[in-house]
Chains A and B, each alone.
Chain A
Amino acid sequence: MSRVRVLVGTRKGAFVLESDARRERWEISGPHFAGWEIYHLKGSPADPNRLYASQSTSWFGQLIQRSDDGGRTWEPVGNQFAYEGVPGTHQWYDGTPHAWEFARVWHLEPSLDDPDTVYAGVEDAALFRTSDGGKTWQELPGLREHGSGPRWQPGAGGMCLHTILLDPSNPGRIFIAISAAGVFRSDDSGKTWRPINRGLKSEGIPDPTAEVGHCVHRIAMHRSRPGVLFMQKHWDVMRSDDAGESWQEVSGNLPTDFGFAIEVHAHEPETIYVVPIKSDSEHFPPEGKLRVYRSRSGGNEWEPLTRGLPQRDCYVNVLRDAMAVDALDSCGVYFGTTGGQVYASADAGENWTAIVRDLPAVLSVEVQTLS
């Protein structure tokens, strides 16, 4: 019988939740790395027992942990993230040049076919790769050295490379997103990059339609249609049907188009999920009602999903990496909140249950479907 494993990164440790395919009873292990911030942990699609975790604190810096047994035991691996060459500068919050400086790993994206190869998105924004299971990390400097680098600037959370999407139909194609630079695409396995932000409009930058500078919060794709991308931007939900060459707004009837997380149904490439957040200055659900919005038409037409979610006095946030889906026949949808709840729906969003509710603030949620 299939099982589901939910990997939860929080402000104070990692938690691993497992259930059978009914997704009714959950075994919870953790906290792993208690007291450390776990920005992200994720399993290898090629070997589900191989997990990687990004562990950090302001006190003791960055560690990477690896598990070969599905999260029961962990070993620290390499933690040296050294920029290639002289890193140069990007813009600071006040517009002055600021030297590139490594802060932490935001996102780990294991290769689709090799458990030893993993991509790491870091702050200050750059992309690293390991091909020896995490022992050593090498920067793919073509991204940071893209000519627009000196114009990139940090979002409120830092200048982070937070999204990495690997194209399953084209091994050389990688999409990444940076706050606040925008989306970039490589078609040669990360050697060279170009910005793909045409159609984005951001009022918070001097030129709202600039080539770079957009605060993209997350992008998502369905593996059966890797040329179709969905984006939750600082404001606006966007869609591209040409691998990022152009974007169209699909916010439609959302109560607010600000938010962080966006995800695609496992079996329906036109079904997408967002969690609207009131605004960039009020990071909580509008009206105190925690609502997931689902579109079955790839955007524009959205319906609120509320059954089982708090509909009054709820002022949590759902961060960019804190939503994921499983691949069971009835697609499960999961998201974590800054209030420490992880909500799950075993029926594509119709009904929700808190499968754990008193964790530290949730930073990331990933799901593995185990056969």
Chain B
Amino acid sequence: MIRVVLPAHLRKLVRVDGEIELDLEGPVTQRSVLDALEDRYPMLRGTIRDRVTLRRRAFVRFFACAEDLSHEPPDALLPGAIASGVEPFLIVGAMSGG
């Protein structure tokens, strides 16, 4: 079970208050987590990564286990603590004012 934390704007969009729990089969990567997330909540398509290129949006960051994984390849394995559900995968709106 994977734990995902969305930024406040997207939590409100999907009408979820706390963490989201996802069951994944196969390798736990940024891509597989985001695929599963968007399958459950189609309205998230385009808000975290571009709908066509699937590239991370510029002002969205991925944090996990106190590390910034935003620039890791989308198919790189996430840390074991994420895959086991010990730590959440954090999707964060970049701190950039406004």
Report A's interface with B, CB cutoff 8 A: 34-36, 57-63, 76, 79-80, 82
Confirm or deny: B48 has a beta carbon within 8 angstroms of a beta carbon on chain A: yes
Inter-chain contact A59/B13, CB cutoff 8 Å: no
* Chain A: minimal CB distance from B46 (Å): 5
Known: A59-B60, A60-B60, A61-B57. A82 touches B52 (CB 8 A): yes
Q: A35-B8, A58-B58, A80-B51 are in contact. List 13 more A-B contacts (CB 8 A).
A: A35-B9, A36-B9, A57-B9, A58-B96, A59-B9, A59-B93, A59-B96, A60-B7, A60-B9, A60-B57, A76-B13, A80-B45, A80-B46
Q: Which B residues are within 8 Å of any A CB, using their own CB?
A: 7-10, 12-13, 43, 45-48, 50-52, 57-60, 93-94, 96, 98
A194 to chain B, nearest CB (A): 30
Inter-subunit contact B57/A59 (CB<8 Å): yes
State in angstroms the CA–CA spacing of A41 and B98 once bound together. 22
A82 to B10, CA, bound (A): 22
A59 pairs with B59, CB closer than 8 A:
yes
A34 to B9, alpha carbons, bound, how many Å? 8
**A60 and B47 in contact (CB under 8 A), knowing A35-B9, A76-B13?**
yes
How far, in whole Å, are A311 and B95 apart by their CA atoms in the complex? Answer: 39
Which residues on B sit within 8 Å (CB–CB) of A76? 13, 43
Task: Report the tally of A-B residue pairs with Cβ distances under 8 A.
Answer: 47
Closest to A79 in B: B46
| Residues of chain A lying within 8 A (CB to CB) of residue B45 | 79-80
- 23 pairs, CB–CB < 8 Å, chain A vs chain B: A34-B12, A35-B8, A35-B9, A36-B9, A57-B98, A58-B58, A58-B59, A58-B98, A59-B7, A59-B57, A59-B60, A59-B94, A59-B96, A60-B7, A60-B9, A60-B10, A60-B93, A61-B47, A61-B50, A79-B45, A79-B51, A80-B45, A80-B46
**Complex contacts, B93 vs chain A, CB 8 Å:** 59-60
Measured in the bound complex, the distance between the Cα atoms of B98 and A80 in whole Å is 25
What is the interface of chain B mostly: helix, strand, loop, or mixed?
loop
Instruction: Give the docked Cα–Cα distance between A59 and B43 (Å).
Output: 15
Q: A58-B59, A58-B98 are in contact. Are A63 and B9 (CB under 8 A)?
A: no
Most buried by B among A34, A59, A62: A59
Q: Which residues of A contact B58 (CB under 8 A)?
A: 58
Q: Which of B43, B50, B60, B98 contacts A63 (CB 8 A)?
A: B43
Report Cα–Cα, A232/B55, bound state, in Å: 39
Chain A residues with Cβ under 8 A from B50's Cβ?
61
Q: Kindly list chain A residues whose C-beta atoms are within 8 Å of the C-beta of B59.
A: 58-60
Minimum Cβ distance to chain A for residue B66 (Å): 22
> By the criterion CB–CB under 8 Å, are A63 and B47 in contact?
yes
A80 — which chain B residues lie within 8 A by C-beta?
A: 45-46, 51
A83 and B50 CA atoms in complex are apart in Å by 14
Query: What residues of chain A lie closer than 8 Å to B98, measured between beta carbons?
Result: 57-58
Q: Which residues of B contact A35 (CB under 8 A)?
A: 8-9
CA distance A316 to B46 in the complex (A): 34
B-chain residues with CB within 8 Å of residue A61 when the two chains form the complex: 46-47, 50, 57
Complex alpha-carbon distance, A57 and B8, angstroms = 13
Nearest opposing residue in chain A for B12, CB measure:
A34
Q: How far is the CB of B6 from chain A (nearest CB, A)?
A: 10
Chain A min CB distance to B62 (Å): 14
In the A-B complex, the 3 residue pairs with the closest CB atoms: A76-B43, A60-B47, A59-B59
* Smallest Cβ-Cβ distance to A62: which chain B residue: B46
Question: Are A60 and B48 within 8 A (Cβ)?
Answer: yes
Measured CB to CB, the nearest residue on chain B to A75 is: B43
